[in-house]
Amino acid sequence: MLDNVVNPTPNPQYIPVLCEWEILEEEVPSQFQGSLEILKGLKLVSKHKLENIMVNTGRDTLFEFLLAMTGATPSAMVYMGVGASSVADDGTTTNPLVTDTHLYYELIGEQRKGITNTNGIALSTSDINLQTITVGGCTFYKYVVVQAIWPSGSLNNGNFFRSYALFSTPSVPLTNGGTAGVMFNELFDPAPINKQPTNQITAQMTLRF
C-alpha cells in the first residue's frame, strides 16, 4: 500500500501518513437525550478541522491492522479513544509525539469506539479511494475516511473531549493514565467540546497514504 508514496528524504522510515481530522458537535433533541442510539440529521453546533501525521512504528502498525482487508471483509481491529486532558505527563502542553504510548488522561467510562466508514458500516476495501495530493513535500495517492461517534447517552458525559487517538484494542486502561494496546496517533483539540446528553460528538479522520 505504501510503495507508491513519494519520499522527499532518502530514509523511508520517515514517510508519513497524513491524518485530517474533523470533530463535529451536534445538538440532540430533548426527547432523545440520554439515548445510546447514533442519530442522523442533527443540528451542527461546531466543527473543528485539524491535521497531524503518523510516522515510524505507528504508521506501519496501523496499516497492518486497518488495511488488512480482503474483499468485503471488514476490519474490526482499530478503535478510537478519547482523553480529557491535553497536558502531557511532564506537565507540558505541546503537541504529542509519535513516540507517545497513551492518552494523558483517557476517559474510561466506556470501551473505546470501533471505527467505521462515514455510513456507520464496518470498513472494507471498497472504502479506499484514489486521490493524488502533495502536502509538505510528500505525495499521497490513496485515502480512507474513518469515524467514531459518542452518542447522547455516552458514559463519558460530563467531560471535555480534549484529545483523540486510534488504538489496536477496544479495552481502556485500568487507570486514566495507563496504557492498553498500541496507540497509533494522538490529536489535541485546541477547542475541546464538553460532552453532555444534549450533544453527540463525531470524530472523523481522513488517512492519506
Buried b (16+ CB within 10 A) or exposed e, 52-79: bbbeeebbeebbebbbebeeeebbebbb
The full DSSP string for 81-121 is: EEES----TTS--SPPPTT--S-TTB--SSPPEEPB-TTS-
Percentage of the residues of the chain whose pLDDT score is greater than 70: 76
**pTM of the shown model:** 0.81
How far apart are the C-alpha atoms of 116 and 164, rounded to whole Å?
15
Express each pLDDT in 90-104 by its tens digit. Answer: 666 656 665 678 888
Mean pLDDT, range 180-189, rounded to an integer: 87
Task: Specify the higher pLDDT residue, 63 or 95.
Answer: 63
In sequence order, what E strands does the chain have? Answer: 17-27, 43-54, 79-83, 113-114, 129-135, 138-150, 160-167, 183-194, 199-208
Burial class of residue 186 in the structure, from the number of CB atoms within 10 Å of its CB (0-12 exposed, 13-18 middle, 19+ buried)? buried
Percentage of the residues of the chain whose pLDDT score is greater than 90: 44
Express each pLDDT in 25-45 by its tens digit. Answer: 999 999 999 999 999 999 999
The CA-to-CA distance between both ends of the chain, in Å, stands at: 8
User: Which residue, chain included where needed, has cell 486514566?
Assistant: 176
Express each pLDDT in 122-181 by its tens digit. Answer: 887 788 899 999 887 888 888 999 999 999 999 999 999 999 998 888 999 999 889 998
